[in-house]
């Protein structure tokens, strides 16, 4: 595969599963001692990667859970934040200024703060009540954070007696690194083609539902916009028929991200409409990835990670086709703002 380090990738995703396993007893203890809400507090893409975990809690649990943008939390507060809050803060760098400030804000409120960092010896790691570090890079962090956040949600549900198969899901998750690698290998022959279609178009509409929506937003904002300076319009399938459909005409490039979760029918409806109104459609569907040796329930839960792992292959080809390294920035962390 192009510009890919298999050993590093497998080590990183095994590390994510290990962090999820180590986090479980911490969550169980906090819930048993009366914690009554879960807040994911983050900045930018790290917060987006928490969306599927929040959706899982919203639809299958009555334990109040939300994503709080770190800067907004400090500026406006949260009615949920208290000494009974479990605050989970993901940050690959571990030093994002807004998130570091939010950590102290949460500590001052008496909340228990858990950080999920990708860099050892970071400010977030040093100041948290509990820190779990998995040394990931930008090209493999999405899967890691999807795994850790979704298993955080499953841990809360297990501790509250809302699921009875946590151990089985965790055991199956130990096969996730190899399943993700298999998905990459299967998609690699398409990756150049998809990247070429993105590279030649000036504007992209990226559509998804459920876990696919999180990945649509993340890939549009954090990869195509931040790392490639390409204009994008991420669209939630539930919103598509309430405005964005009017942008469609021949020549508009649409990237459809489909997973196998409960909201797949929303994407099927969007897919049927898009087919008749533009001639430039690219669909990435986890259902077409073949057997990955994962139980159906875990495969559905990890739909966003599967989408992220094949889109990383697109990114690897895209930076070569456009002669624009993914590490190039004009402003982000390149100047004061």
Do residues 200 and 142 both lie within one domain? no
Residue 305 to residues 49, 115, 143, 308: CA-CA distances in angstroms? Answer: 9, 20, 5, 5
* Tally of domains in the chain: 2
- 319-332 mean pLDDT: 96
What is the reported pLDDT for 233? 96
% of residues, the chain, pLDDT over 90: 96
Do residues 212 and 296 both lie within one domain? yes
Instruction: Report yes or no on 164 lying in a domain.
Output: yes
Nearest to 287 by CA among 263, 259, 322, 267: 259
Instruction: Report yes or no on 1 lying in a domain.
Output: no
Q: Give pLDDT tens digits for 267-276.
A: 999 999 999 9
C-alpha triplet 208, 211, 215: angle, nearest 5°: 65
Instruction: Report yes or no on 278 lying in a domain.
Output: yes
Residues in the chain: 337
Distance CA 175, CA 161 (A): 25
Give yes or no for residue 334 having a pLDDT over 90: no
What is the reported pLDDT for 158? 98
What is the reported pLDDT for 200? 94
What is the reported pLDDT for 232? 97
CATH code of the domain containing 233 = 3.40.50.10490
Do residues 121 and 49 both lie within one domain? yes
Point out the domain boundary residue: 173, 193, 213: 173
Nearest to 312 by CA among 95, 179, 82, 142: 142
User: What contacts 24+ positions apart, CB below 8 Å, involve 215-221?
Assistant: 215/142, 215/257, 215/304, 215/307, 215/308, 215/311, 216/255, 216/257, 217/48, 217/51, 218/45, 218/48, 218/49, 218/142, 218/308, 219/257, 219/308, 219/311, 221/44, 221/45, 221/48
Distance CA 209, CA 18 (A): 28
pLDDT band at 58 (very low <50, low <70, confident <90, very high): very high
Distance CA 93, CA 114 (A): 15
Do residues 268 and 127 both lie within one domain? no
Alpha helix (H) residue ranges in the chain: 6-32, 45-48, 51-60, 70-76, 97-108, 123-127, 141-159, 166-173, 176-200, 211-218, 264-274, 296-301, 303-321
Q: Which pTM does this prediction carry?
A: 0.97
Instruction: Provide the domain limits for residue 99.
Output: 6-173
Coil vs helix vs strand at 5? coil
Point out the domain boundary residue: 173, 194, 221: 173
What is the reported pLDDT for 123? 97
Which DSSP state fits 104?
A: H
- 42-57 mean pLDDT: 98
Distance CA 239, CA 109 (A): 36
pLDDT band at 337 (very low <50, low <70, confident <90, very high): confident
Do residues 44 and 157 both lie within one domain? yes
Do residues 55 and 158 both lie within one domain? yes
Nearest to 146 by CA among 17, 326, 11, 9: 17
Do residues 41 and 77 both lie within one domain? yes
Q: Give pLDDT tens digits for 299-315.
A: 999 999 999 999 999 99
Instruction: Report yes or no on 96 lying in a domain.
Output: yes
Residue 129 to residues 20, 26, 87, 104: CA-CA distances in angstroms? Answer: 16, 10, 10, 11
What is the reported pLDDT for 137? 87
CA dihedral 204, 205, 211, 217 (to 10 degrees): 60
Do residues 301 and 276 both lie within one domain? yes
pLDDT band at 336 (very low <50, low <70, confident <90, very high): confident
- 161-188 mean pLDDT: 98
Q: Token pair of 219, please? A: 């890939």
Instruction: Report yes or no on 330 lying in a domain.
Output: no
What is the reported pLDDT for 192? 98
Do residues 145 and 222 both lie within one domain? no
Distance CA 244, CA 145 (A): 29
Q: Give pLDDT tens digits for 72-105.
A: 999 999 999 999 999 999 999 999 999 999 999 9
Point out the domain boundary residue: 152, 173, 194: 173
Q: Give pLDDT tens digits for 131-141.
A: 999 999 889 99
Q: Are 256 and 287 in contact (CB under 8 A)?
A: no
**Mean pLDDT estimate for the chain:** 97
Q: Give pLDDT tens digits for 213-231.
A: 999 999 999 999 999 999 9
Coil vs helix vs strand at 166? helix
């Amino acid at each position: 595969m192009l510009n890919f380090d298999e050993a590093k990738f497998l080590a990183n995703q095994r590390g994510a599963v290990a962090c999820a396993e180590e986090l479980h007893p911490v969550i169980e203890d906090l819930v048993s001692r009366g914690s009554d809400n879960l807040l994911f507090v983050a900045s930018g893409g790290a917060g987006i990667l928490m969306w599927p975990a929040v959706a899982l809690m919203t639809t299958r649990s009555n334990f109040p859970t939300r994503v709080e943008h770190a800067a907004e939390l400090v500026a406006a507060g949260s009615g949920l934040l208290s000494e009974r809050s479990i605050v989970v803060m993901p940050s690959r760098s571990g030093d994002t200024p807004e998130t570091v400030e939010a950590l102290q804000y949460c500590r001052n409120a008496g909340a228990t703060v858990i950080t999920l960092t990708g860099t050892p010896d970071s400010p977030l790691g040093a100041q948290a009540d509990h820190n779990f570090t998995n040394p990931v890079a930008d090209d493999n962090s999405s899967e890691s954070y999807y795994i850790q956040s979704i298993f955080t949600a499953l841990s809360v549900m297990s501790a509250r007696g809302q699921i009875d198969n946590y151990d089985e899901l965790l055991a199956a998750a130990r096969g996730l690194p190899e399943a993700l690698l298999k998905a990459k290998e299967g998609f690699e022959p398409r990756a150049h083609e998809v990247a070429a279609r993105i590279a030649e178009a000036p504007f992209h509409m990226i559509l998804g539902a459920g876990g696919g929506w999180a990945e649509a937003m993340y890939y549009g904002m954090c990869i195509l916009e931040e790392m490639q300076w390409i204009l994008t319009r991420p669209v939630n399938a539930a919103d598509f028929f309430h405005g964005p459909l009017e942008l469609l005409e021949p020549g508009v490039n649409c990237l459809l991200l489909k997973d196998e979760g409960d909201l797949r029918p929303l994407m099927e409806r969007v897919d049927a409409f898009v087919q008749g109104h533009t001639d430039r459609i690219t669909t990435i569907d986890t259902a077409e990835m073949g057997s990955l040796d994962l139980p159906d329930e875990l495969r559905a839960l990890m739909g966003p990670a599967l989408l992220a792992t094949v889109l990383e292959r697109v990114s690897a080809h895209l930076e070569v086709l456009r002669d624009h390294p993914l590490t190039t920035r004009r402003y982000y962390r390149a100047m004061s703002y």
